[in-house]
Structure 1
Amino acid sequence: MIEERYGQALRRLPPWAVDALIGAGVALTVSIVISAGQGGRQSPDAIAHLWAVGLGALMLARRRHPVTVLAVTALGLFAYYAAGYPAVGIAVPVAAALFSAAEFGRLVHAVITATVVIAVSLFFRLAEGDDFSFVVGYELAGHILLMAAAIALGDSLRSRRNAQAGARRIAELTAQRYRQEADARLHAERLAIARDLHDSIGHTTSVISLHADVARESLGRDESQTRAALDLIKSTTTRTMSELRRTVALLRTPDEDARSVVSLSSVDTLRETAAAAGIEIDIEMRVTAELPATVDASAFRIVQEAVTNIVKHSRGTRARITALDDGAVLRLSVVDDGPGQVRDGGPDHDIGPGHDIGSGHGVGPGHDIGSGHSTGSSHRVGPGHGIGPGHGIAGMRERAETLGGTLTAGRESAGFAVRAVLPLERTS
């Protein structure tokens, strides 16, 4: 209880004020004992009371020089008794100095000083003829207990202060670690959103590039085809801008508990893009429950990238998208019926799992659409057009592996297929 009260005083008052209060208490207590006039060869005078004030004034230096304060107090006590002034005991005058030395980590000095003061007092009192039973059997125990209590209190306060400082340091380090983890999660979330933006804009750019060339080839020949291509470009950009605004809203409020910007339920939007390129899409969705947000978004992006590659590179006319949720994993497949896909200018080169096709490689100016075709929405990149290596399949595989799943892509008997298995981690 005493330690708690002293600790509270330390927190409420500045250090110099605490030292001043302790010094005033020492000076007042010793002056009262001196005024009792018990024993001694001469009556208490101004010098005796000035000595008491000096003991109190030493407390102002107890933080910076605890050992010096302790030594001066002990020597001052010896000088006081040598001058023959009334008895003040030995524990009361040195108790505050012993407490201060122990409080500031000078425990050994405090114990040695207390031992020396007791030994010197016993020697001179017994040498002067004081009763042994009274000095040793009656007074000694009280002096020892008071000095020991002062030392123990100071050391306990120091230990408590160190423990509190350690606890504060641990709390600061823990809070810092939590902040770092939160920053890392936020960074990872923003990277995921940025990747979503990249995939979405890459898909849109491919569509716009393709149909801009269709509109250019149809200009002046087939106004309805030109208008259809431009309408598709407009609807695609409008949809992408809407998705972009939702994504930016998440970036502005990263702590918002919102659903993913994209979802597998939006896979129907890909049908229009494929149909405009002359590819019919069949969709089979057998998802029985709500998917985790990360799985939902990644599944849509994988399907979107696969459809983009079909639109850009396949020579087939149909594709099938299948999503099956069996409770443990989500199985995705995107399969076209093309006889082969074009890569690097060579006709009918199959693209295996290790070959990547970038979604960002659109048809640049000067590339004719198809061989021998000038109009029609079904124009795609034909043989002889070099498509540089990109990161399409690699990006899809990275998304799947990030979730603990797998992805394969390559030629099958039915056509080119992209298949992914994504584990589900639904909360109970």
Structure 2
Amino acid sequence: MSAPQPASVRSPGVAVAGARPGVDPRLTDGLLAVAMTLAIAVVIAADFDGAGESGPVAYVFAVGFGALVAIRRLAPRTMLVLTVLGIFAYYALGLPVIGMALPAVAALYSAAELGRTWWAVGSGVVLVAVAAYFRVAEGQPVTYLYGYELVTNVALVAAAIALGVAVRLTRAAREQAERVRLLTAAEQAQAADRRLEAERVRIARDLHDVLGHHLAVVALHANVAGEAVGRDDDAARAALGQVGDAASAALRELRATVKVLRGPLPDAPSRGSTSLAGLDVLVRPARATGLDVVLDVDVAPGALDGAIDAAAFRIVQESLTNVLRHADARRATVSARVVDGHLLLRVADDGAGRRAPGAEAGQGIAGMVERATLLGGRLDAADGAHGGFVVSADLPARLAP
């Protein structure tokens, strides 16, 4: 019996109010109109008071009261006013008693359900007051009026209005819940998009770090092999072996990345050897080029969150890649300590610093700074006080909850 919302305010995904899914509201109103007509016709035919004439005019009024139910959704106030006026006209013609509240129940309910509550209350008061006045004027005992008929009429009017208000509020609550559900679903979709974008950025950053490192090793050993061919074939073969190892490692990283992109996103990136515990494997190709890499790492297992551990590994990797590419260094030192809940990471070399050709190019340092900042830390990269280049990072050992 609820009324539909106007199309302009109907929420997407919300079923049409006023009818169950698949039931035409016009059919519902038609059945209500027939039920109202039959109910009034039965009361007219019964003529409980025996004071009126059950002629055709009375049944015409019964059909009219029922017909008004059919327009309750389109014009609830019009239906209410015409119903009240029709009741007055019915009794003015001296037709059989049908009660004041019965013909008005549907009108009062519809007006209250569609938000015209005060119209329904006002009409109900008018109906009850007029009925009481004419009963007294007819000489009926006041005790009967107040003890039975007035209470019955007030109860019927109040029940019709209260039911209409309750249905309207229930429908509004249901639609509000549906809107909240849709907004929540949209917010969850946006959060998923943000997570996906963050994962793409992480993959791009890791690819840059990993491939940059391995390709730098490949380039250096290829140059060594080219210079050694014909003069020191053993050195050339060793250099080419390092080229093959670095290329194989790069291909493994690419295959792992493609596997991640093709499958569902994991809750957390797979760490594997991407941690400070894997630095020995990381620096092995760099040492093979002749760079003396000193590791001074004192970090207990489990002292770092996985994301911090992986970020520290990537920072060392990118720093050593820059040393191999630009620094023309003979020695690099990697140190890591956990002090007061912070990971202090430092990569220093004895090379040319920013004076080295191409030292300012690329996005390596910017990527390291961004990685540290996202984790709540900071990273500085500058020429060392005694030469060379120094990358120092201060990262939280644990991510904030």
Q: TM-score, normalised by structure 2?
A: 0.84
Deviations 1:76-115 (A, max 9, x none): 2223223322111101111111111110011122122222
Aligned residue number for residue 156 of structure 2:
146
Range moving further from structure 2, 100-109 or 402-411: 402-411
1:391 maps to what in 2? 363
| Match for residue 157 of structure 1 among 164, 167, 176 | 167
Considering Cα pairs closer than 8 Å and 6+ residues apart, tell me whether 1 or 2 has the greater RCO.
1
Residues 418 and 386 (structure 1), Cα distance of their counterparts in 2 relative to 1, 3 Å cut: closer
Cα deviations by residue, 1:288-308 (Å, 9 ceiling, x for unpaired):
123322112211111011211
- SS of the residue corresponding to residue 86 of structure 1 reads coil
Quickly say closer, same or farther: Cα 1:387–1:145, change in 2 above 3 A: closer
**Cα pair 2:114 2:168 within 8 Å, conserved:** yes
Task: Show structure 1 runs of 5+ residues with no match.
Answer: 1-6, 346-384
**Letter in structure 2 aligned against 1:84:** G
Structure 1 distance, partners of 2:234, 2:56, is 118
* Counterpart residue type for residue 196 of structure 2: L
Work out whether residues 101 and 107 of structure 1, in 8 Å CA contact, stay in contact via their aligned partners in 2: yes
- Tell me what 1:285 maps to: 297
The worse-fitting range, judged by mean Cα deviation, of 399-408 and 44-53 is 44-53
Pairing 1:402–2:363 present: no
- The structure-2 alpha-carbon separation of the partners of 1:250 and 1:310, relative to structure 1 and needing over 3 Å to count, comes to same
Structure 1-normalised TM-score? 0.79
What's the secondary structure of 1:61's corresponding residue?
coil
Q: How does 1:237-276 map to 2 (within 5 A)?
A: 237-252=247-262, 253-260=264-271, 262-276=274-288
Percent of residue pairs identical: 43
Aligned-CA RMSD value: 2.9
Structure 1: distance between partners of 2:144 and 2:283: 108
| Mapped partners of 2:300, 2:266: distance in 1 | 29
Q: Distance in 2 between matches of 1:85 and 1:26?
A: 18
Residues 220-259 of structure 1, C-alpha deviations (whole Å, 9 max, x = no match): 4433333333222221121112112222333332144452
- State the partner residue of 1:354: none
Q: Distance in 2 between matches of 1:130 and 1:406?
A: 93
Amino acid across the alignment from 2:376:
G
Aligned pairs (5 A) from 1:14-413: 14-39=24-49, 41-252=51-262, 253-260=264-271, 262-290=274-302, 291-326=304-339, 328-336=341-349, 338=350, 340-341=351-352, 343=354, 387-409=359-381, 410-413=383-386
Secondary structure of the residue aligned to 1:254 is coil
How many residues are treated as equivalent by the alignment?
381
Confirm or deny: 8 A CA contact 2:84 2:123 kept in the other structure.
Answer: yes
Q: Say if 2:41 and 2:62, in contact at 8 Å, map to a contact too.
A: yes
CA shift at 1:203, angstroms?
Answer: 1.9
Q: Distance in 2 between matches of 1:38 and 1:312?
A: 107
Matched residue, 1:420: 393
Counterparts in 2 of 1:104 and 1:272: CA distance versus 1, 3 Å: same
Find the residue that maps to 1:87 and give its secondary structure: coil
Query: Shift in Å at residue 136 of structure 1?
Result: 4.9
Q: What secondary structure sits across from 1:408 in the alignment?
A: strand
- Write the distance in 1 (CA, Å) between the matches of 2:172 and 2:283: 69
- Asked whether the equivalents of residues 107 and 151 of structure 1 are also in contact (C-alpha less than 8 Å), the reply is yes
- What secondary structure is seen at the aligned counterpart in 2 of 1:156? helix
- SS across alignment from 1:186: helix
Structure 2: distance between partners of 1:81 and 1:256: 76
Structure 1 residues 315 and 132: CA distance shift in structure 2, 3 A: closer
